[in-house]
Structures are given as structure tokens and as C-alpha cells.
Amino acid sequence: MEIVAYGVLADEEPLLRDAFDSAFAGRHELRCLRLFLDRDTAPTAVGHEVVLSSVNDTLDAEALRSLAEGGTRMIAQRSTGYNNIDLPAARELGLTVARVSSYSPYSVAEFAWTLALAVDRRIVRAARRTRDFDFRLDGLMGRDLRGRTAGVVGTGKIGAAFARIAHGFGMRLLGWDVAENPDCVALGMEYVPRERLFAEADLISLHVPLLPGTHHLVDAEALALMKDDAVLVNSSRGGLVDTDALLQTLRAGRLSGVGLDVYEEEAGVFFLDKSLEVMTDERLARLMTFGNVLVTSHQAYFTRDAVGQIARTTVTNIEDHIAGRSGENVLVRPGPA
């Protein structure tokens, strides 16, 4: 059969095809589309039993209904997050939904540190200056991280990898999560209430999933608790941060730096070329005006290692579906009639 993949990036496609060819050896064909999957584009999947979705697709009830009516029986999400999929609607429609429950945690943890160091040491501003042969150091002063406090919000695999790097810098570690990670405790991490973490940390990095209970976890109250010269990094999900509250905080001259690889309204913007268009998202445009804010386009996961793992796990999920197996990555599976 032919399997169609949506939202496939140019650098992703060879890795996805390699994993596909290795597993299926010509038994199934893969069709890769740059097109994002939503209620308007779902009719293009007619006749495809298996559809591969991306994190920026919008699979609401209407889109899922269109897929089901067109013959789709399985949606394989090529990411860990799945907040873009209406799971109750998928269950009601009899669709199987699977995801990639884990991949290289180092890709995201290392990129979070890239953002943290870039804003702390004013790397982007310095690079822009030197390209214009302006070699002054005014406004470029950073600070040592050794001896300062790193607050890790979410200490799963990615948060733990971030914490190990912080430990290597010689930082004091504070953590917040629903359960303590023994690996982080072994590094000397102290688990504390969220309010204390925000108040004491010099660097805060977010590594929790986006759930109803974590939506706008970093709100006006949390931002008010942070030190005026703290650094905030979000490489998890945009909805964790209340953008309006963050803008108010930045306008007040607070926070030394902010590194964002995700944004709560990124759908329809990130992964696309908007350079010839007027940016109608005023909040995103305002964020870009602050010299101490660095925004990247959801690329923390984007390493050859991580994308290769994602591709191979996605293929395994397809194999499980075809064989009638329910693996650990299945989010929704039709029950008995």
C-alpha cells in the first residue's frame, strides 16, 4: 500500500525514506508531502490507510472525520507531543493513533543550553556587529554560570540531560516535577516547590509536556517571582509560557535573556517562509524587537540522530498497526465492536 506523510521537511525526508525502505523493502510505498495536514487538506489523504502526521498538523475532530471517511485507519505522529490531535474524536471514529514516545534527549537538552548561552553571552548581537566590522564590546557583557542556580522544570529524560550539563558547569540544581528523578538527585538536585524554583534560579529551563495543568505554567505570577536578571529558556511547548505576561515583563526591563524555540501560536508560522509577508502576529513581532530575546523555529529536536530515531520508531509503529499489535507508543486504539 501507499503511505502518505505530511509536513515532511527537506532534511527529514532522506532519513524517513531510509527507515521506510529498510523495514518494508518495496512492500509499501512512501509519499512525502510538504503540505501540512488539517481540515482543509485532509481530503488529499483519501484512500490511504496510514497517514504520518507532524507536530504542526492540526488534527481536530473535523480533520479526523474527513480522514476516517476517506479510508484512513491509522495516524502515526512523528513527534512525542500530541496536543495537536483530538484523541477523544479519534477514538470515537475508530482510528489508531501512535506517537514517538522518546528519542535522543540530548538533541533538545543541548539546544536548550545553546539558547541559554547565546542570550547570556549576547552571541547574536555580537555576531551582527562583527559582520558590520563593529568590534566594540559595549552591551555584550555576560556572566559566569558556575556557582549560580539552574532551575529545571520537568526532570524526565530531557530535563535530566539538561541537568547533567548544568552540573558540568558547576551550577546548583533545583528541580520541580510530579516525581523525583533519582539520576537528578544523584547530581545534587534539590526538589522544591515551583514558587521557590522561580524565585531562586538564575537560569530556568522548561522540560514538561503541554497539558491542561501546565498550560501557561509561566504566567504573570511566576514571572514576577523571577529575578530581574534571570534567564528563561523554553524548548518544550509554546503554551507553557503566557506570551502576554512575558511581553509585559520584558517591557518592564526585567529578565537578562529569553530563549524560545517554541511559541504558543507557532502553528501556521513555524517551518514556513514568511519573509515576504507582513507578520500579522503582533505578539511574535514584538518578541523579536527585544535585543535580549532569541527565537528559533522549533528546531531543538532537529539533529540527524534524533530525526533518525523518530523515523525508525514511526516505521515500527506502522509495522505494529499492520500486524495488529498494540505497542507502547499507541495513544488510541479501537476497541472491540
- E strand spans, 198-256: 203-206, 231-234
Q: How far apart are CA 170 and CA 156, in angstroms?
A: 21
Cβ-Cβ contacts under 8 Å for 194 (sequence gap 6 or more): 153, 176, 217, 222
CB atoms within 10 A of CB 149: 19
Residues forming beta bridges with residue 293, ordered by sequence position: 258
Confirm whether 69 is a catalytic residue: no
Pair 283, 72: CB distance under 8 Å: no
Amino acid identity for residue 259 in this structure: G
Q: How far apart are CA 220 and CA 230, in angstroms?
A: 15
Q: Which of 65, 237, 312, 333 is catalytic?
A: 237
Q: Which of 122, 266, 312, 333 is catalytic?
A: 266
Q: Which cell numbers in the block locate residue 268?
A: 501556521
Q: How far apart are CA 65 and CA 95, in angstroms?
A: 10
Pair 180, 200: CB distance under 8 Å: no
At residue 159's C-alpha, the angle toward residues 172 and 286, to 5°, is 95
Confirm whether 266 is a catalytic residue: yes
The catalytic residue positions are 237, 266
